[in-house]
Amino acid sequence: MPRYAIARFPTPVLNSPTFTMCFGRDCLPLDEQQLLRPIEMVLFPDSKIQLVENIDSSLIWRICTQEHPCSDPLYIDERFVAFVDEHCPERIQDLPSVAIITQRLLDLVGKRYIWGGNWPQGIPQLLQWYKPVVKEENLDALVQDTWQLKGVDCSGLLYFVTNGSTPRNTSELVEWGKPVCIAGKNCDAIIASLLPLDLIVWKGHVIIVLDRPTAIESRMGSGVVISSLKERLQEVFNERKAVDIYTSKESSFVVRRWHPSQV
């Protein structure tokens, strides 16, 4: 019989069952870009989870969840969750207004870019339950923050400010909401057609429109930053083609309008 659980805390989800290989040592297995790639996302408290398989009678479970539909295996540590029956309801996803989302975005300026991160306050249980060999105060600041997933990646920024009401990954965001027609338009013409919270997106990154002068995003190496919308869009134009329907066959980008008050 399937087992179910709900997240008691913000719950890290990995694409590998080897949590102790990611945490619990004197250093993290960061790649050349200083990213912890096994991190998939963070489930919000009260997220419902189906426990598919226990791994080697350990604390680790393979899971699936409507919060993050994924064909690849996903794993959690059971200490983050409470066991429930299958009739437990799914988490309520309340989408905030444009004004509230915009203020939440502004409040996150300066937060660190963390691969797989969408809970900027961080998860202190990771340092408690997977203690580093060295004292916490002796860890590098980047390692401390990464150990706790204290930051957001590009789509994680949007996911957090919308209470998890938007898709977690850019591979889904490129088809989220409705397309804004941008094919064949120049930079100024595209900007003239944009509304706050429109997404400039391709598989791999998303930029959020704050207003016509400015954009916000979480960038590798920089964290959450505000920039000139025109300058940032021109940078995208230098590398990608504006299209109305995203295709991975060419270097392209789309603009998607998704907030119900603006669609």
How far apart are the C-alpha atoms of 111 and 132, rounded to whole Å? Answer: 23
Is residue 25 over pLDDT 80?
A: no
pLDDT of amino acid 70: 87
Lowest model confidence (mean pLDDT) among 17-26, 79-88, 124-133: 17-26
Residue 35 has pLDDT above 90, yes or no: yes
- Asked if CATH classification 3.40.50.410 holds for the domain at 3-84, the reply, yes or no, is no
Which residue is it, tokens 């226990």? 54
Rounded distance between C-alpha atoms, residue 217 and residue 223, angstroms: 8
**pLDDT tens per residue across span 144-159:** 999 999 999 999 999 9
pLDDT in tens, 82-110: 999 999 999 999 999 999 999 999 999 99
pTM for this model (two decimals) = 0.96
Banded pLDDT at 136 (limits 50, 70, 90) = confident
Three-state SS string across the chain, please? Answer: CCEEEEECCCEEEECCCCHHHHCCCCCCCCCCCCCCCCEEEEECCCCEEEEEEECCCCCEEEEECCCCCCCCCEEEEHHHEEEECCCCCCCCCCCCCHHHHHHHHHHCCCCCECCCCECCCCCCHHHHHCCCCCCHHHCCHHHHHHHCCCCECHHHHHHHHCCCCCCCCHHHHCCCCEECCCCCCCHHHHHHCCCCCCEEEECCEEEEECCCCEEEEEECCCEEEEEEHHHHHHHHHCCCEECCCCCCCCCEEEEEECCCCCC
With contact defined as beta carbons under 8 Å apart, do 206 and 220 qualify?
A: no
Other CB atoms within 10 Å distance of the CB of residue 144: 16
Domain ranges of the chain: 3-84, 98-155, 169-257
* 70-80: pLDDT as tens digits: 889 999 999 99
206-241 pLDDT per residue, tens: 999 999 899 999 999 999 999 999 999 999 999 999
